[in-house]
């Protein structure tokens, strides 16, 4: 695969769309920030890696053309919507409980995990249960296509690198000493905001049509 395969006009547009989507504040980025400030960089990076893995799974599904069939099968989309909505509501419950707790605890409760594998799997689950990710990747595939054809491998690799950069940056930024000191001073308010954001996202996912 040549270097030019990664920098065609259509691919650059797709990279830009993916970057904007991943860099914009949302449940995934907020969860990474919460873990970073409360449990440190290593846990946040593992959670971020899980999110990227989930995204790359849907990317692979889309590039293989399977996503169109999955979208057409309405029961599959409904099942993913329900799982994703309930998972977000569960995160909202945990964040709300943490807001009223006497001592600080992450919304993901990382301290109860015996290994970082659990943190990684929760990050992957957050993205795998998001049906909008399927639709986003279908759009990105369409955006990157051209008359001469495009390398789906270049698209997945390039977006994977962007995802690692963006989500990894969130993990590093919010695990600094300054960010963690701010978290300790405003823990209740921040966890309360997380509860609201996760709750609204969960309800919206369960009640709206994709």
Range scoring the smallest mean pLDDT among 18-27, 70-79, 102-111, 125-134: 102-111
- Residue 191 to residue 189: CA distance in whole angstroms: 6
Domain membership flag for residue 8 = no
Domain membership flag for residue 6 = no
Q: Where residue 2 falls among pLDDT bands split at 50, 70, 90?
A: low
Domain membership flag for residue 5 = no
Mean pLDDT computed over 73-83: 73
Look over the chain and give the mean of its residue pLDDT values, rounded to a whole number: 78
Domain membership flag for residue 121 = yes
Per the structure, the count of domains in the chain is 1
- Asked if 61 and 70 touch (Cβ cutoff 8 Å), the reply is yes
Greater model confidence, 16 or 151 = 16
pLDDT score recorded for residue 92: 86
Domain interval for residue 34: 27-140+152-207
Domain membership flag for residue 82 = yes
Q: Where residue 132 falls among pLDDT bands split at 50, 70, 90?
A: confident
Mean pLDDT computed over 3-30: 77
Q: Read off the pTM.
A: 0.75
Quickly count: other Cβ atoms within 10 Å of residue 65's Cβ: 11
Domain membership flag for residue 18 = no
Domain membership flag for residue 21 = no
Domain membership flag for residue 196 = yes
């Amino acid at each position: 695969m040549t270097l030019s395969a990664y920098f065609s006009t259509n691919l650059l547009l797709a990279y830009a769309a993916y970057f904007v989507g991943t860099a914009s504040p949302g449940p995934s980025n907020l969860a990474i920030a919460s873990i970073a400030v409360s449990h440190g960089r290593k846990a946040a990076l593992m959670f971020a890696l899980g999110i990227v893995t989930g995204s790359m799974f849907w990317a692979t599904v889309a590039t293989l053309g399977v996503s169109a069939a999955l979208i057409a099968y309405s029961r599959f989309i409904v099942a993913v919507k329900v799982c994703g909505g309930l998972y977000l509501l569960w995160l909202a419950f945990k964040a709300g409980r943490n807001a009223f707790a006497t001592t600080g605890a992450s919304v993901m409760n990382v301290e109860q995990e015996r290994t970082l594998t659990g943190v990684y799997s929760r990050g992957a689950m957050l993205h795998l249960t998001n049906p909008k990710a399927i639709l986003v990747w279908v759009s990105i595939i369409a955006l990157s296509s051209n008359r001469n054809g495009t390398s789906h491998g270049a698209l997945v690799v390039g977006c994977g690198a962007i995802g690692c950069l963006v989500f990894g940056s969130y993990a590093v930024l919010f695990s600094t000493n300054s960010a963690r000191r701010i978290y300790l001073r405003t823990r209740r308010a921040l966890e309360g905001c997380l509860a609201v954001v996760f709750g609204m996202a969960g309800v919206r996912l369960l009640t709206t049509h994709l």
